[in-house]
Structure 1
Amino acid sequence: MKFRSVSPSVTDNPPSVTPPKRFSLKVALWLLDNPRIGDNPNIKHFAGRLLKQPAREGVVAAQSRLGLLMCRECGNARDRRIGHDLLRQAARAGDPGAQRALGQIKD
């Protein structure tokens, strides 16, 4: 005997859109801004990993901070180029910190 089920789209309410999680962004910014631990290279690496997904999703604050971190802390040209791209995206979105940083880098 074969049971036929009604598709979930007919019986269920439409799924509500959940806002993206910004917890990782807040933790990363707190880590970088904390004067006691923010200078530690391991903390900077961890914060960069936390900022990566929000920056990909288009969060301007994450793009700006990750771009600054990559431009200042990374040793290879590829990471610095990615950092410049992130700063440009944040500057186009109107972030004043990214605009200042781009002005300092180009001068």
Structure 2
Amino acid sequence: MPRASLTLPSRSTDQRWSLHVALWLLDSPRLGQLAWAKHLAGRLLKQPARQGVVLAQSRLGQLLCRDCGNARDRRIGVELLRQAARSGDRRAQLELGRLYRQPRSLEPLQARHWLQQAAAQGSHEAQRLLNNL
């Protein structure tokens, strides 16, 4: 009788699982609005973002900038968005453009730069925001 071998999931399998579950939570129409789901998704995105997974950096950055009230989390979120945007993530570029247009950060040159990057990748929202700058 053959022996069943026990194989432990690899770190990359764990990372992919965490990323998929986090994205599912955030993108779910009902769950994505709940505080506990956002908190869990943030925890699941943390390790992949630290390991340089661009999608995790982008989504965690958005989460920290939009849903966390403290300045420290917001700074971390902006840095994660910047890393993802530099790697070519259109969603992060658009989010940075939006952030830099807001009165509290009002940096029109940065806003224009990131919105142009996102528009060059086909973002209609970025193009609309550029026209309004």
Given the two structures, how large is their TM-score scaled by the length of structure 2? 0.66
Match of 1:72 among 39, 61, 66: 66
Equivalent of 1:20, from 12, 31, 36? Answer: 12
Query: Sequence identity of aligned pairs in percent?
Result: 67
- The structure having more radius of gyration, on CA atoms, is 1
C-alpha distance in structure 1 between counterparts of 2:29 and 2:11, whole Å: 31
Aligned to 1:93: 87
- Alpha-carbon RMSD: 1.0
In 1, distance between residues paired with 2:80 and 2:12? 20
Per-residue CA deviation, residues 46-86 of structure 1 (Å, 9 max, x unaligned), is 00000000000000000000000000000100000000000
Q: Deviations over 1:8-66 (max 9, x none)?
A: xxxxxxxxxx6712100000000000002110001000000000000000000000000
1:102 aligns with 2:100: no
**Structure 2 alignment gaps of length 5 or more:** 1-9, 102-133
Distance 2:92 2:26 in 1: 16
Matched residues, number: 90
Letter in 2 for 1:95: D
Match of 2:32, SS? coil
- Partner residue of 1:62? 56
Q: Secondary structure at the match of 2:19?
A: helix
- Partner of 1:98, secondary structure, is helix
- Deviation beyond 6 Å, 4+ runs, structure 1: none
